[in-house]
Structure 1
Amino acid sequence: MLLAATTASAGALHGIHTEDINRSGDACNDFFDYANGAWRQQNPIPDYMDRWSRRWESGEVNKEHVRDILTELSARTDWPKGSSGQLAGDFYAACMDESRIDALGSKPVQPWLDEIGAIRNKADLQRVIGKLHDIGVAVPFIVYATEDLHEPSKTIAHIYAGGLGMPDRDYYLKPEQRFVDARAKYLEHVAKMFELAGTPAAQARQNADTVFAFEKRLAEASFDNVQLRDPQLQDHLTAFADLSKIAPDFDWAKYFDDAGMPHDAVNVTQPRFLQQVEKELATTPLPQWKTYLQWQLLNVAADALSTPFVEENFAFNGKFLTGATEIKPRWKRCAELTDQQLGEALGQKYVEKYFPPEAKAKMQEMVKNILLAMDDVIRGLDWMDEETKKKALEKRSTFFPKLGYPDKFKDYKGVVVSRESAWDNLVSASRWNTADNRGQVGKPTDRSRWGMTPPTSNAYYNPLQNEIVFPAGILQPPAFDVNATDAVNYGAIGVVIGHEISHGFDDQGAQFDAQGRLANWWTPKDNAQFQAKGQCVVKQFEGYFIEPGVHHNGKLVLGESIGDLAGAKIAYRAYLKSREGKGPEPTIDGFTPEQQFFLSWGQWRGDETRLETQRTMVQGDPHPVAKYRVNGPVSNLPEFRAAFQCKADAPMVRAEADRCEVW
């Protein structure tokens, strides 16, 4: 039920979208349905999307903004060669030239396929693996530069498992029917792709069997998705000379020399996986290796090739895995790809148009308030002793916010882009991005670098630099609007800010100290209590089903769910703090500021999601599906219950014995 309230004028600032609310619903019964059920009913998921809400609609509008910039850039052909305008404009123009791409068919990748087919010995095999790594094809492992887990001020090479064509290892191994179906579809898909590249049908089917058997062996040696969330399991600093003990059939010195990386210690994230790679190098016949590598290349290249490749790639990775029934328009795919490969070349124009200084100033104020609210929460914890609180506050004090865009944009010097070949442009940009990353190995960590491009509608926390990062692309309505009330902004982007801050103290982030090192800063007693509080969240989400027999994996979604729970709590506190000395905001359209805060959260996170996508998410995504991201956290918060005057036995009110509170 709603609090009785009188409507007051809010001046120029607007409240929540009241037209989105399902008036026949009940906030205390199912808040997800109530907050924006009417919007979802009136706005079905577009055929090319796997989920939909005002948030996702905003993301698609954001791509229209990117398209407008790229259209403007590509309309000119007199940009100085190598300038950001020439690179982004010509990359987009070549991608949009569908008739030229279709006329070429598989010809752009044929030289690569031929080179793989010409492998005659292990030296050739390693050389080709290295060339594929140069353009980001992770076969069967990948080397990537990031911070040293124990000395994050230094960047080192990490060796990661890769080389699978399905989402993760469980698709190859689990007996449930949905995985059995996926394996059958995958075999058909691989065979079809080989056929499109000119392989006779019978041979293509044999190739698919070879690929699947190869990838299954890699899958058996890979971590599952829960293990991948444990940084301790992936901490294996290895002297360079000792790489040859794990995989002696691979010439590591030559690989690192060719890649321009020093022979320093590396982190082998999954030693067992690398041992399996060694076994494949030692025992798997070269013809099988060649088939596997050709498939991996086709898999990566598909969307840059002709329409039959694009459509077949969508049939498996889109239609089957996500439930989308229509491929995205070419301009969207080209805008996404340009942003992915050359995002900082167009990022400066993007922020000039869509992220004014007053927006950045408002965000800085909100981040400051939410960080201070986190301090208050830590100081007020009754389960943590003073020694651990001191360490937690020290860690919080070193948080490094990044808002909008980098202080210095990449120049992409050396990237060669023309309007002649979309595939060649992709190779050139991918090679540059790989080299740019590799060039950090052995150097002091550059804290000015960003892991997302300015137009990206997302955010992240990096525990090794203790940074929270919010690109300009997410700082748009409905997440953030300078013309909205504080209640609305704190309920949407404020909870996102709180969520990212909380990642510094979730089951993963809590293992890193104030300097970003993987190091314990907890007393044994406090750590035990922290683990128990996390287990409450695990149990809560294990009880959330998407269909009979299929529920969330509580351990997989633990970090994101701690982030949502703590994020909502500290954003609400920060909102109240922001009003100190100003007085309360007015009730608007019958909704109190407190109700606006929570409704803003429900409307921001309230995605309608295809069942196929939900199945993929509960298998491998550390984020819960939208319904439980909305309902799960607030059902634990007394502030939510008070805002909507819910009864103690309402479905949206968890019994005190079951209520979860970590931070």
Structure 2
Amino acid sequence: MTLHISSRLMATAALGALMIAAVPATAKQQAATTSAGETTAKPEIGDFGFDLSGMDKSVQPGDDFYAYANGTWAKNTQIPADKSNYGMFTALNDLSQTRTREILDAAKDDPNSMIGRAYASYLDSATVEAKGFAPIQPWLNKIRAVEKPGLAALLAEADRNGVQHFFGGYVGQDDKNPDVYTYIIFQGGIGMPDRDFYLKENERNTALQAAYLKHLENVLTLAGEANAPARAKAIYDFEKQVATVHWDKNDSSDATKAYNKMTIAELGKAAPGFDWPTFIRGLGVKEDTLIVSQPSAFTGEAKLLADAPIAVIRDLLIVRSLDSFSGVLPDAVAKETFSFYSTALSGTPQMEERWKRAVDFTTGSLGDAVGKDYVAKYFPPETKAAMDTLVKNILASMGSRIDGLTWMQPATKVKAREKLANFTTKIGYPDQWKDYSKLEIRADDLFGNSLRSNQFAHDDNVGHLGGPIRRWEWFMTPMTINAYANFGMNEIVFPAAILQPPFFDPHADAAVNYGGIGAVIGHEVSHHFDDQGAKYDETGKLADWWTPADVAAFESAGKALIAQYDAYEVLPGEKLDGTFTLGENIGDLAGLTVAYDAYKKSLGGKEAPVIDGLTGDQRFFLGWAQVWRRNYREQNLSQRITTDPHSPSIQRTWVSRNLDPWYKAYQIKQGQKLYLEPKDRVRIW
């Protein structure tokens, strides 16, 4: 549910992927009249902010709380042909796209509007088709001509151009010195999303491997290369070797293991066979030290690069280049890339309409420029003010939780309180917008716009080095349906577009709002105290600030939560990885717990009224369940089990089984499927 951001990984703690329900997010608020004759606005969803028609009351809450709250919605909601899943996040994303389209449609004929020119260039498919492969040919010819001695310089250029290759990297805060920027480099070199797709043998992976091999062949053919089948097999065999030296996802996401500061010379000794100085300097990095996220992977990859025939390396880079630029090249390329990465991997049968892709391209290239217009039109100051109050209430409840912990030592509690007091909260949009005045955008040059945008973003990122920390900077646009926690800046961030029903509605019942956006806030707050966030102190520094007793107690609770999620079989033969999803599961558990406390406190000691036969506590947990309404295509769900640190929506809803008030609210009994004995309910924060 949350985006954890540290300098180690630019986006490791986000709320989750898109998901809202088939409730009318675009419906206009209707007026109602109180007994005093005053006009008030009704909530957008139902009578009090929850869609009662989506429930399935034939299911006992204690057997499957997700189905009880959302079962009828799930049965009646079809996944659109251009989506791999559909739910609350997705519906809000559709709304965000539509609203952004209105802004861009109004700007596209204005030659003085940068966002209008970018949008117009994507919509002009006739010009894109007429140019064909001509815009990318100079770059492809560079790849075809490269020899081993020139490879490091070419890969640095590829990085700046936005072409993925054997290593990835970015400039971020130094985890152990968060007032300083550093360059962080991480493993790459594979075209499928995770090493497991190459190395784990099962029926689904075998099919994906065959589909990927065919994709490699098809892309080489599109690029005009001869003997594509044999060359594709050589690429695949090389990538499988790379996969064998990659760290797995659990080690890669461990902040402590992934912090390895080295000089360029030390990296050269640890990973010989590659010209690291030329590569690093070619990126524009002038510093002599960097953070190497997976040292042994770099050792292995450097050797593989040194031993591989240059022809295989060239072919891999050709494929990566077409895949990276597929959206701004002729449709034949876009359709081929979509066929593997969206259809084979996620089960999506149909590409989005071109206008939707044009919106995404424009917001991806000029996010702050679009966002400035978006918030002016769609984010009222009242929403920001109401959100400020909710955040303060959640933070106060988290403070009370810290004070009441029995497992944490008093000295550690003081430091935890200091960390909480140092939080920065960002709501809606940045206080300062990025300046794109040095970026050239032309209405008749889609490929050039994409290339220059990539180069601008790279140069802007590298430009952080040696400068002050940009605390005003956001890693999501205001149009994004998500939220995140940034460890290095000790901040929580909530873009404007998520602050809408079903997450938040100022006219909805408080119980639903606390169960929705309140739990989201709590989730983001608690990320700073999860299995990775808890490693960062009140200044955002990766440091040991817990006593050994604290660590032991925290890890024990974490192991219990790992075991709980390890037991969930999401698809036949495919279970969740409780270790991989631990941080997000802690976020859900703690977020819901803290939000419940804040809700009860907001009542001022009074009992909440019964509405439509539902108590306040029942409505609170329904508010939580409603935001996770989502249907998945089987391929997408399977991929997520391997690659997504968030548990699927059903299991996220089930986290309520660890909260005592949930049992009381719904009279959950022994023998029901979700029932846990009190001693087995995981309690962390």
TM-score, with structure 1 as normaliser: 0.94
Give 1:185's match in structure 2, choosing from 197, 200, 211.
211
What does the per-residue CA deviation read over 1:210-254, in whole Å, with 9 as the maximum and x for residues that have no partner? Answer: 211222222111111111221111111112332332345444444
Is it true that 1:220 corresponds to 2:247 in the alignment?
no
SS at 2:179 equivalent: coil
Alignment of 1:199-218 (within 5 A): 199-200=225-226, 203-218=227-242
The residue aligned with 1:149 is 175
> Retained in 2: the 8 A contact 1:511–1:519?
yes
Give secondary structure in 1 for the equivalent of 2:169.
strand
Q: Out of 321, 331, 355, which is 1:307 matched to?
A: 331
- Aligned partner (choices 340, 348, 356) of residue 316 of structure 1: 340
Instruction: Please give the alpha-carbon distance, in whole angstroms, between the structure 1 residues aligned to 2:148 and 2:531.
Output: 46
- Deviation string for 1:521-555 (max 9, x for gaps)? 11111211110100111011111112221110110
Partner of 2:129: 102
1:495 partner SS? helix
Tell me, in whole angstroms, the C-alpha distance in 1 between the residues paired with 2:378 and 2:58: 37
Q: Give me the whole-angstrom Cα distance separating, in 1, the residues matched to 2:313 and 2:486.
A: 36
1:176 aligns with 2:202: yes
CA distances 1:63-122 after superposition (whole Å, capped 9, x unpaired)? 111111111111322x1xxxxxx2211111111112222333333222211111011341
Provide the secondary structure at the position in 2 that maps to 1:235.
coil
Q: Which residue of 2 aligns with 1:5?
A: none
Q: Residue type matched to 1:612 in 2?
A: Q
Inter-partner Cα distance in structure 2 for 1:247 and 1:502: 37
CA deviation after TM superposition for structure 1 residue 431, in Å: 0.7
Aligned to 1:406: 430
Corresponding residue number in structure 1 for 2:365: 341
Please tell me whether residue 564 in structure 1 is matched to residue 591 in structure 2.
Answer: no
Partner secondary structure for residue 395 of structure 1: helix
For the aligned residue pairs, the C-alpha RMSD in angstroms reads 1.8
Counterpart of 2:553?
A: 529
1:32 aligns with 2:43: no
Q: Tell me the secondary structure at the aligned position of residue 233 of structure 1.
A: coil
Aligned length: 644
The separation in 1 between residues aligned to 2:640 and 2:392, in whole angstroms, is 33
Could you tell which deviates more after superposition, 458-467 or 98-107?
98-107
Alpha-carbon distance, 1:447 to partner: 1.2
Contact conserved, 1:74 with 1:92, CA < 8 A, in 2? yes
Tell me if 1:660 matches 2:682.
yes
Which amino acid is the alignment partner of residue 653 of structure 2?
V
Counterpart of 2:29 in structure 1 is none
State the Cα distance separating 1:263 from its structure 2 match. Answer: 2.3
Which whole-Å deviations, capped at 9, do the CAs of 1:317-336 have from their partners, x for residues lacking one?
11111112111111111211
Determine if contact 2:110/2:117 at 8 Å carries over to the other structure: no
Superposed displacement of residue 180, structure 1: 1.7
Q: By how many angstroms is 1:260 displaced?
A: 2.9
Matches within 5 A, 1:280-295: 280-295=304-319
Partner of 1:117: 144
State yes or no: 1:55 paired with 2:89.
Answer: yes
Counterpart selection for 1:43 from 77, 96, 103:
77
SS of 1:166's partner is: coil
1:357-413 Cα deviation digits (max 9, x unpaired): 000001111111101100111111122221222222122221111111111100112
Q: Distance in 2 between matches of 1:402 and 1:623?
A: 23
Residue 152 (structure 2) pairs with residue 126 (structure 1): yes
**Alignment match, 1:230:** 254
Q: Is the 8 A contact 1:405 1:471 kept in 2?
A: yes
Q: Does 2:104 match 1:70?
A: yes
- Structure 1, 249-258 or 88-97: larger mean CA deviation: 249-258
* Residues 75/42 of structure 1: CA separation in 2 closer, same or farther (3 Å cut): farther
Is the alpha carbon distance of 1:122 and 1:280 closer, same or farther for their aligned partners in structure 2, counting shifts above 3 Å?
A: farther
- Determine if the alignment matches structure 1 residue 440 to structure 2 residue 474: no
CA distance in 2, matches of 1:510, 1:260: 33
Q: 1:22 aligns with which of 51, 56, 77?
A: 56
Whether 1:325 and 2:349 are equivalent positions in the alignment is yes
Matched residues in 1 for 2:407 and 2:275: separation? 52
Change over 3 Å in CA distance of 1:134–1:59 after alignment to 2? same
- Which structure 1 residue ranges, 5 or more long, are not aligned? 1-7, 80-85
> Following the alignment from structure 2 to structure 1, what is the Cα–Cα distance between the partners of residues 109 and 516?
37
CA distance in 1: counterparts of 2:345 and 2:416, whole angstroms: 41
Aligned letter for 2:486?
A: N
Aligned residue in 2 for 1:140? 166
Contact 1:163 1:296 in 2 (8 A): no
Partner residue, 2:645 = 622
Q: Is the 8 A contact 1:455 1:472 kept in 2?
A: yes
How far residue 191 of structure 1 moved from its aligned partner, in angstroms, is: 0.4
Q: Is the 8 A contact 2:274 2:306 kept in 1?
A: no
Distance 1:173 1:614 in 2: 19
Kept in 2, the 8 Å contact 1:606–1:630? The answer is: no
Q: 2:285, 2:263 → 1: CA distance?
A: 14
Paired residue for 1:494?
518
CA contact (8 A) 2:157 2:283 kept: no
Answer yes or no: is the 8 Å Cα contact 1:609–1:626 preserved in 2: no
The separation in 2 between residues aligned to 1:239 and 1:127, in whole angstroms, is 19
- The answer to whether the 8 Å contact 2:173/2:488 transfers is yes
What is the percentage of aligned positions where both structures have the same residue?
38
Q: Partners in 2 of 1:433 and 1:240 — Cα distance?
A: 24
SS of corresponding position for 1:313:
helix
TM-score normalised to structure 2 length: 0.91
What SS does the aligned partner of 1:160 have?
A: strand
Q: For 2:127 and 2:69, how far apart are their aligned partners in 1?
A: 47
